[in-house]
Amino acid sequence: MLKEEDADDFSFILIGLCAAVKVINSQKRSVNTAKLRELTQEVYLKIVERFPWAVVTQSIHRILAHAHEVIELNQGFGLGDVSEEGLEALNKLIRQMREHGSRKDCTMNNFQDTFHHLWDRSRPTIVEMERKIKRKKAKLIISSEIEALVESLFLEE
């Protein structure tokens, strides 16, 4: 359980991380990299100073310490089109299909069945059906605060 004095700092860290990730995943609007750098530095320092026992993973370090640099190298736009999240999600799907939806008599048949499953899933009618089936996630209570912070990190058009 968090102490009351730590709750505000933890909330700031959570909101800052959410906003940074949303900006990084954007790709159609110019990012104010100076403001993004300032925000991510504040979040990073807050983690290190207030929660010294917390382990900062490599992924979090890259977001907080280097995201603004990579966005600058991408002409000031977010990295939505160069993100690896889609590929990582596909690895999980391939593993699941190989384990549960393909023959296991030989490697060739296993890969062939997996390929056919992936090919079937790429059909527009099936993609549309999957979109309709998926439910919208409930918005966080603090989502308006995150959205306001995200909007402040973009340059005016």
Q: What's the burial of 104, exposed, middle or buried (CB within 10 Å: 0-12/13-18/19+)?
A: exposed
Residue 87 pLDDT exceeds 70: no
Q: For residue 10, what pLDDT is reported?
A: 87
Q: For residue 47, what pLDDT is reported?
A: 92
DSSP 156: P
Residue 83 pLDDT exceeds 70: no
**CA distance from start to end of the chain:** 43
Give me the mean pLDDT over the 21-35 stretch. 89
What is the rounded distance in angstroms from the CA atom of residue 38 to the CA atom of residue 36? 5
Q: At 109, which amino acid appears? A: N
What is the rounded distance in angstroms from the CA atom of residue 122 to the CA atom of residue 93? 13
CB 83 within 8 A of CB 25: yes
What digits encode the pLDDT tens for the residues 34-60?
Answer: 999 999 999 999 999 988 888 888 888
Give me the mean pLDDT over the 77-99 stretch. 74
